[in-house]
Structure 1
Amino acid sequence: LDKTGTITDGTMAVKNVIEYVNPSGLPVKKAIPTMMASLEEKNLTSEALEQKFGTTKKIKTNDILPFSSARKLSAVEFEKYGTFALGAPEFVLKGEAYKAVIHDVEKNAKDGYRVIALAHSKGQIEGDKLPSDLEAIALIIIEDTIRPDAILTIDYFKTHGVDVKVISGDNPMTVAHISKRAGIVDADKYVSLDGMSDKDVIRIADKYTVFGRVSPTQKKLLIQSMKQAGRTVAMTGDGVNDILALKEADTSIAMASGSEAARNVSHLVLMDSNFSSMPKVVNEGRRVINNVQRVAILFLTKTIFSFMLSIIAILSKGSYPITTSQLFMIDFLVIGIPSFILALEPNTNQVKGKFLINVLKRAMPGALVVVINTLIIFALTPVLNIDKTQSSTLIVISATFTAMMVLLRVLRPFNALRKVLFAVMFTLFVTAVIVFPDFFEFNSLWKDYYTTGTGQLVPRLPVDQFLLLVVLLQAAYPLMSIVAGIPGFISKQIKNILMKLANI
């Protein structure tokens, strides 16, 4: 998280002003609005300063150094009063000048306040370099307002196994205090990245929770390091200085109230600029991914066994054993109707693993069982004198039943809706097999019938073939469980072998 606009609501207020000896001839209460008028900057800090000190007219300047995230300060050289610098104390003041105010800086930073130093020198700005003799004439203590809902939002992520880290350009002690108030775990593990090498940034990325004095490039490095450590990283930010990190993150979230550049590079923009919307976003994402994953299992089961049966038909120089009308039961009762209902069902379960691997692991067992049953039927064709229609009957019914078992596994754990869905689909399947054999072009299980098209007699399925069908149906679910467990069994055996070889 970027602190400003996520944990805090983006509003700031000047809490206190600590003044020191001021030899500039320009009082602090006039120096700040005069600087603001010359800099013409519009950001949260300048708004807080204007609210406290008001505005004034410009006076003649010799040079201006605008604020940047890298410098963390801005400066103005006035023709009459010398150079004034405004920014982070450790960047504005050097050596003894900083030591003179460090007690006040750290005291207020530990209390969670943002500290800005106003310094003066009679020297000149040369290029982008400030005079070396800048002395503090005031410390401006600014208070960030924590979002009322930030604590609940962060608690939501905490209970869902998400590690929250805070990245900010502010003093790490200030950020840590605010993070602790917001309920972030291990907020006392903070570090300043000021002057730290890229190698050190990468090394400590996973060791701390709060990162202060972070430059835009360092934000990007932190995101990269966490991704390389195997984490899935989401980044929220609203400023231009967050752009590099937002582009690098797996998921980037910007606030609508933030900069246009941040909105343009982000995957997601919170239109209400409200961090508390994130749980709703996460829940909707989980619903989509989990439901699409379940629907994909149903589609892929049919696709895989259809492809395998096509290969078998080509290699055996035979015909595809299932007609288009016979696939109607799978298309509508296993895929079509259940998919429509499952896609709309609420689902906030945590997304685990890789999408394609999850789908293949759950679709492959059902598809392989259909192929195995088909090969058994083909192998027993000469033994049981199975003709083409009888073969299709056995394959279609066993394949549809197996697909129903895939649907059963997808629907678990059951709730009221899923129970009703499976019961209705399975009842329609049994009804179709018993009542409409003519439509599906296979043998009836219990009586002879005449086809409506040609009037040809189609005898019922012989007893021995009916018994074979019963065995195939009974074995379908246990066989799916066995097939599903094979990869895990093989993996376990390989690990045992490697461990034994390692002990030799």
Structure 2
Amino acid sequence: MAQPSALTGRVAGALAVPEVLDRLRTTHGGLSSAEAARRRAVVGPNALRTHHAQAFLVLVRQLRSPLLLLLAVTAVASFFVGERTDAVIIGAILFASVGLGFVNEFRAERAAEALHDQMRHHTLVIRDGASVSVDVVDLVPGDVVILRLGAVVPADLRLLAADDLECSESVLTGEGLPVTKTVEPVSAESGLAELTSCAWMGTVVAAGVGRGVVVATGGRTEFGRIAVGLGQRQPETEFQRGLRRFSMLLVKVAAVLTVGIFAVNLALHRPILDALLFSLAIAVGISPQLLPAVVSTSLASGSRLLARRKVLVKRLVCIEDLGDIEILFTDKTGTLTEGRIEFMRALAPDGAQVQLLGMVCCDIPDGNPLDAALWSAPGAPVAEARRYTKAGVLPFDHDRRLVSVLTDQGLLITKGAPEAVLSRCAAVPPEALDQLQHEFEAGHRVIAVATRDGVPELGPDAERGLSLQGFLVFSDPPKTTARAALGELARLGIAVKVITGDNPAVAARVCADLGLPAGDVLTGPDLDALDDEHLDEVVARTTIFARVDPEQKARIVRAQRHAGLDVAFLGDGVNDALALHAADVGIAVDSGADVAKDAADVVLLEKDLQVLADGVSQGRRVFANTVKYVLMGTSSNFGNMFSAAGASAFLSFLPMLPSQILLNNLLYDSSQLAIPTDTVDAEQLARPSRWDIGLIRRFMLVFGPISSLFDFATFFVMLQLFHAGPALFRTGWFVESLATQTLVLFVIRTRRSPFTRSRPSVPLLLAALTVVAVGALLPATPLAGDLGFTALPGGFFLTLLAMVIAYLALVELGKRRFFRATAPAPTSRPHPPGHRIHRRAARFSTTP
């Protein structure tokens, strides 16, 4: 086949269908598999961004830290002025920080790549003359795509056929209303919203069906050009914003201490180079250099744990977002119920006839679970249903909640939600309403079937004056694991609310069977009657929202977020996409609609609330362990640096060499790398936590000086009892400083009594004790001379033991008073402007 001419959607939209097919060298019957493979090799995959772990880019991200730049400059300066030991130690810190961060992030990237490979988007394409399902990345110009309700348009298409086809194009044009599509050419000068003969990548089929030929893929599409132009930078999450604010706090503290210490040393007429290196060591020492490694280790381990539990987190930092959830809105089918729809019976004088009509009134036999249950029911009249010839179809949409089929005999068959069908019937027997209410109260799903004879063609008024034929009753029992999962979510402080398109009585019965307090019940019409101000009040006390459409779902979510709560939404259908966008954390299911997966932050490979509860716990565990490191690191480092600043003002020599300060920090931080393995107290998992920079600052200012008290006690002991010179003084303070700031970890890591009511993990215990032992033994090794150390007298270790015990006891007492006086962090927060806008942009920039 000849090479097709290059086309864009704008050009193709102005051309007649035969000319478009000719220029693309294709037909209404699509391409052959061989030709599609040849074209894919030429044009590449139909993707805006593929998720590949690239070692070089991961390494570059590790090197962007200003702190690392400071370390590198200090190392180079130390090397060229002859301070080779300082240069080696700084180099080791650089290697540890960059290396550990690189290993963890690259491993996490590889895990994410493997998980993304499990999540595929498929579309129906005509290949070799037959419709087949292919991965969207394999689409090429010339492919003929079949569009159905709920599908995300996988590429820029020139429409070949449109049957009541409407597409929601808000992602491109900002227009909220769907656009009606036709096959007629339009002017090439028309705006994007007026090019009705085309369907654009990333838009959603809101109604009807159609077919289109692919004219552009990947970055050559209209959506692709926008996404590529915006770049691929991911938006900042609340967790990252907290880390950034914390880093700015450290920068300010370090700047004040560094400038002050440098000025003091110059005033004491010490060598400028020594004073500069000492000041830089102070700046480095107060900063937790391995914080990125600790965070990435926590997130990576959380990602691996969730992966084993069938949860795909699109970005690692979204793990912490899971921990913030306070309200979970979830659908009912497949989440609270088994999702195993079974046809029970038909309520009508002639039940077999109603079942037959219901089977005829569908797009395809397995178009949805209800139709599949009808066709697979024992004794279903399959052969008779297939003898009917359809003259037209009005497809199901979420506004009408109906589907209608016109047979070649002029019989219109309408099937759908009972309220929607009954409102279009000429008359409804009272006993039918009683039967319907009885089935709802029993928790069964019910579909109404009605007919109308003598309909010449389908149109807006065809579904009027119907005759009710009966009801089809289906069962969907509560899920056996849902009760335990709801209990676990309640223990985590998460309120679960149900949003469903089903009948309110059915939803209430399912919730009652699972032990979920029903609270108030709100329906779609009730919502429409409320303004936003009153809706906020009503939503807070409502548990079940029934018979709601997609926009109403999103409005409910926005109302709850307006109250300052972190909201998650779990859904898997096209009608859930708006609510997924509106939530703080959108959660979809891998078996769900493509548009739902694109809109979500988290994708479940198995639809189970227990998996969500595990994810929430893991997110809170990551945050809790990160804050442990922050609190311990800042308070201990601030205390040590404050002590160094004070000592340098009255000693005739530097209290610790720059290389010794850096070595102390390296050993201490190395022990903290085991923090991600630590256990977390149940009360820390019981509710969401937030970054509280004020609390961190207060903690640093309270516990840092306590550390300094024992540093000054060490100075007194070294000068008055041991009459220490510079080398002995520095060695004694090095060992004491490392021991106290490492062992205080066991007190600060929990608000409970350490060791008795909250035990650390074994790796953390071993890491801390090993570092203390290394620090104590280092002055007795051959390396001592090069590091500026000397052997310590035996009496020093007895004094050290007494000081450590006293220090830990005082910190424990201070900890209890501090947390009693500190009000708990608020469990809600107002969201920054544009919070979700940026996240929407990120979602739509993923692979289609």
Matching of residues 459-478 of structure 1 within 5 Å? 474=806, 478=810
TM superposition score normalised by structure 1: 0.75
Query: Which whole-Å CA distance do the structure 2 matches of 1:456 and 1:35 have between them?
Result: 88
The DSSP-based 3-state class of the residue aligned with 1:156 is: helix
Matching of residues 71-86 of structure 1 within 5 Å? 71-86=400-415
Offset of residue 139 of structure 1:
0.9
2:658: which partner in 1? Answer: 323
2:611 is matched by which residue type in structure 1?
S
The verdict on how the C-alpha distance between 1:139 and 1:420 changes in structure 2, with shifts beyond 3 A counting, is closer
Superposed CA deviations along residues 30-60 of structure 1, whole A, max 9, x for unmatched, are 3222222x56671111112222345433745
2:706 pairs, out of 364, 369, 391, with 369
1:157 is matched by which residue type in structure 2?
L
2:367: which partner in 1? Answer: 42
1:18 pairs, out of 347, 350, 370, with 347
Query: Which whole-Å CA distance do the structure 1 matches of 2:788 and 2:488 have between them?
Result: 67
The verdict on how the C-alpha distance between 1:269 and 1:420 changes in structure 2, with shifts beyond 3 A counting, is closer
1:180 is matched by which residue type in structure 2?
A
2:427 pairs, out of 97, 101, 107, with 97
Superposed CA deviations along residues 428-478 of structure 1, whole A, max 9, x for unmatched, are 637844x5446799xxxxxxxxx7469999997999xx9999779846753
Query: Which whole-Å CA distance do the structure 2 matches of 1:179 and 1:420 have between them?
Result: 43
TM superposition score normalised by structure 2: 0.48
CA contact (8 A) 1:169 1:215 kept: yes
Q: Does residue 290 in structure 1 map to residue 624 in structure 2?
A: yes
2:109: which partner in 1? Answer: none
Instruction: Report the count of equivalent residues.
Output: 473
CA contact (8 A) 1:119 1:137 kept: yes
CA contact (8 A) 1:246 1:266 kept: yes
Superposed CA deviations along residues 334-370 of structure 1, whole A, max 9, x for unmatched, are 4323532x32245473154534328826566433434
Following TM superposition, the consecutive aligned residue runs of length 4 or more in structure 1 with deviations greater than 6 angstroms are 306-316, 372-387, 438-441, 454-463, 466-473
Query: Which whole-Å CA distance do the structure 2 matches of 1:179 and 1:325 have between them?
Result: 63
Query: Which whole-Å CA distance do the structure 2 matches of 1:118 and 1:156 have between them?
Result: 41
The verdict on how the C-alpha distance between 1:301 and 1:482 changes in structure 2, with shifts beyond 3 A counting, is closer
Offset of residue 232 of structure 1:
2.8
1:4: which partner in 2? Answer: 333
Does 1 or 2 have the higher relative contact order (CA < 8 Å, sep 6+)?
2
2:376 is matched by which residue type in structure 1?
Q
The DSSP-based 3-state class of the residue aligned with 1:137 is: strand
Query: Which whole-Å CA distance do the structure 1 matches of 2:525 and 2:554 have between them?
Result: 15
The verdict on how the C-alpha distance between 1:320 and 1:266 changes in structure 2, with shifts beyond 3 A counting, is farther
1:335 pairs, out of 644, 656, 669, with 669
2:393 is matched by which residue type in structure 1?
I
Offset of residue 383 of structure 1:
11
1:220: which partner in 2? Answer: 554
CA contact (8 A) 2:779 2:792 kept: no
Query: Which whole-Å CA distance do the structure 2 matches of 1:416 and 1:379 have between them?
Result: 34
2:524 pairs, out of 193, 207, 211, with 193
**Runs of 5+ consecutive residues of structure 1 not aligned to the other structure:** 442-450, 493-504
Query: Which whole-Å CA distance do the structure 2 matches of 1:133 and 1:314 have between them?
Result: 94
CA contact (8 A) 1:201 1:218 kept: no
1:366 is matched by which residue type in structure 2?
F
Query: Which whole-Å CA distance do the structure 2 matches of 1:454 and 1:83 have between them?
Result: 92
The verdict on how the C-alpha distance between 1:291 and 1:302 changes in structure 2, with shifts beyond 3 A counting, is same
1:33: which partner in 2? Answer: 359
Instruction: Select the structure of larger CA radius of gyration.
Output: 1
2:772 pairs, out of 414, 420, 429, with 429
CA contact (8 A) 2:343 2:475 kept: yes
Superposed CA deviations along residues 302-354 of structure 1, whole A, max 9, x for unmatched, are 555577679889999x968453335545543x4323532x3224547315453
- Identity fraction in percent: 20
The DSSP-based 3-state class of the residue aligned with 1:145 is: coil
2:445 is matched by which residue type in structure 1?
R
Query: Which whole-Å CA distance do the structure 1 matches of 2:335 and 2:792 have between them?
Result: 72
1:108: which partner in 2? Answer: 439
Offset of residue 300 of structure 1:
3.9
2:704 is matched by which residue type in structure 1?
A
The verdict on how the C-alpha distance between 1:65 and 1:152 changes in structure 2, with shifts beyond 3 A counting, is same
CA contact (8 A) 1:295 1:343 kept: no
The DSSP-based 3-state class of the residue aligned with 2:540 is: coil
Offset of residue 168 of structure 1:
0.5
The DSSP-based 3-state class of the residue aligned with 1:335 is: helix
The DSSP-based 3-state class of the residue aligned with 1:190 is: strand
2:433 is matched by which residue type in structure 1?
I
**Runs of 5+ consecutive residues of structure 2 not aligned to the other structure:** 1-329, 825-848
Q: Does residue 410 in structure 1 map to residue 735 in structure 2?
A: no
The verdict on how the C-alpha distance between 1:468 and 1:432 changes in structure 2, with shifts beyond 3 A counting, is closer
Query: Which whole-Å CA distance do the structure 1 matches of 2:789 and 2:422 have between them?
Result: 100
Give me the CA root mean square deviation.
4.6
Q: Does residue 281 in structure 1 map to residue 612 in structure 2?
A: no
1:153: which partner in 2? Answer: 485
The verdict on how the C-alpha distance between 1:114 and 1:374 changes in structure 2, with shifts beyond 3 A counting, is same
1:143: which partner in 2? Answer: 475
1:223 is matched by which residue type in structure 2?
V
Query: Which whole-Å CA distance do the structure 2 matches of 1:213 and 1:330 have between them?
Result: 60
The DSSP-based 3-state class of the residue aligned with 1:10 is: coil
Query: Which whole-Å CA distance do the structure 1 matches of 2:609 and 2:563 have between them?
Result: 26
2:434 is matched by which residue type in structure 1?
H
CA contact (8 A) 2:636 2:704 kept: yes
2:346 is matched by which residue type in structure 1?
V
Query: Which whole-Å CA distance do the structure 2 matches of 1:329 and 1:314 have between them?
Result: 18
CA contact (8 A) 2:740 2:804 kept: no
1:444: which partner in 2? Answer: none
Q: Does residue 354 in structure 1 map to residue 684 in structure 2?
A: no
